[in-house]
Amino acid sequence: MNERDTKASGKDRRRIQRTVRGICTVAAIAILWLGRNSHAPSTLLGLSPFIAMASLLVTRVFHVSAGIGLVIGVLVLLRPRWFCRRVCPMGHCADGFSRFGRRLGRRPAKFFPLGQWILWLTLGGALFGWPLLLWLDPLAIFSGAFTTLTAGSVPGAWLAILPALVVLILSLAWPYIWCAKLCPLGAFQDVLSHLLRGGRRLLGRSKSTDTPPGASLPVARRAVLGAVVGTVSVSALRLTGTSTARPLRPPGAADEPEFLGLCVRCGNCVRACPTRIIKPDLSGHGLTSLMSPVLSFAGGYCREDCVACTRVCPSDALRPLALGKKPGIQIGRPAVDMDICLLGADRECAECRRWCPYGAIRYVFSESEYCLVPQIDVAKCNGCGACEKACPTRQKKAIVVAPLPAR
């Protein structure tokens, strides 16, 4: 084959590769758009071996949702960076901006591969229950950008698109910086490939001494340092606390510190909720909670026939929940303010009892209030918010679901 044929063959391969990546990006958008009101959004983030591994380290339990990601991890062992070069929609978009940056005369940045440190810090933290930077997974960033399309009139929902915009702007300013230097999923694939080659050398199947691009320290040393830094960071965050007020989380949420680490801010639960009560947190509960899902019962309640949010969570921040077990979980606990309640003003009202789907509210006569007061059976109530939604008081609700105390 002469030089001209070689160049033509190379162009054909690049054209095919770009076509495949374009198809995968369109498919990812279609999955997110068509699945915005169903269980389909979890399919996309389930492809990430980075999310699957972090979830496995935190929960110590293998869930089916992590199975696809682990299979992808096996595939990239055999074909280094296969997922980046063929499938990843965020990488495809970043490469497009990188090519445009090159045309503008921008040059790739030269600095150490930060993505590998993000990887080890996150997995190190995951060993102790808090994968600090899991939300930097490119599939989570790509999926999170779609929250702006489905959050309706929620103030500040546009913040969900900021991580994707940052990736694209960085790629324009310093071409290929995201995939080559920053992406933790890409770094994870490099590490897997490096480990495979190291295993082959140990078995005498290969004498190659090649290392992944940018690898200046042995994998084991980075892993140890990442675990140490992750442990110290997790300990510091837990000692300082994350917020003075614990927010209301969707059903099946892990304990608060663990939840904050596992949640990748992908927006899957926001899109899947049929009553639109799941909203992105706009820093009302501290910086570490920013864009994580919180509940608002202003427009609806957590329906007794729905566990959609627990089925679309890719990282087990919301644990899978069987519909039959939903009455037994605790989202929050209602509290009644008799200074606002209509019964306290000698007016008739039975809305909270009428709309409670679990029959957890009854009215008893109070000697201190000298009127009927709502009494909540905590054994039956799971904090679904139906009473709060139904309460007819206007400026402030007389019955409000409060978060459970931190465990």
* CATH number of the domain where residue 374 is located: 3.30.70.20
32 within some domain: yes
Do 228 and 354 lie in a common domain? no
Long-range pairs of 80-86 with CB within 8 A, sequence gap ≥ 24: 80/189, 80/190, 80/193, 80/212, 81/186, 81/189, 81/190, 81/193, 82/189, 83/47, 83/49, 83/185, 83/189, 84/179, 84/183, 84/185, 84/186, 84/189, 85/17, 85/21, 86/17, 86/20, 86/21, 86/24
pLDDT of residue 211: 46
For residues 374 and 353, the answer to whether their CB atoms sit within 8 Å is yes
70 within some domain: yes
pLDDT of residue 303: 95
Residue with tokens 């162009």: 11
pLDDT of residue 95: 93
97 within some domain: yes
**Where does a domain end: 240, 275, 303?**
240
Do 41 and 172 lie in a common domain? yes
For residues 386 and 303, the answer to whether their CB atoms sit within 8 Å is no
The number of helix segments (H) and strand segments (E) in the chain equals 18, 6
**Where does a domain end: 185, 220, 240?**
240
What does DSSP assign to residue 174? S
164 within some domain: yes
319 within some domain: no
Tally of structural domains, the chain:
2
pLDDT of residue 174: 94
- Token digits of residue 323: 């519909």
Measured distance between the N- and C-terminal CA atoms of the chain, rounded to whole angstroms: 69
Distance CA(64)–CA(96), nearest Å, equals 34
Do 180 and 50 lie in a common domain? yes
17 within some domain: yes
For residues 145 and 158, the answer to whether their CB atoms sit within 8 Å is no
Q: Which of 246, 307, 252 is nearest to 274 (CA)?
A: 307
Distance CA(106)–CA(180), nearest Å, equals 16
For 33-67, b where at least 16 C-beta lie within 10 A, e where not — what string?
A: eebbeeebbbbbbbbbbbbbbbbbbbbeeebebbe
Helix-strand-coil percent breakdown of the chain, rounded to 5? Answer: 50, 5, 40
Do 95 and 207 lie in a common domain? yes
> Which range of residues forms the domain containing residue 357?
331-407
**Where does a domain end: 186, 210, 240?**
240
How many Cβ atoms are within 10 Å of 178's Cβ, its own excluded?
25
27 within some domain: yes
Distance CA(23)–CA(29), nearest Å, equals 10
Do 230 and 337 lie in a common domain? no
Do 119 and 230 lie in a common domain? yes
Do 224 and 360 lie in a common domain? no
* pTM for the full predicted model: 0.81
Which helix (H) or strand (E) element contains residue 336? Answer: strand 332-336
Do 82 and 197 lie in a common domain? yes
Q: What is the mean pLDDT of each run of 10 residues along the chain (407 residues)?
A: 57 80 89 67 78 85 74 83 89 94 90 84 82 90 78 65 93 93 92 76 57 50 67 64 71 87 87 89 78 91 93 88 91 93 90 95 87 92 95 93 80
312 within some domain: no
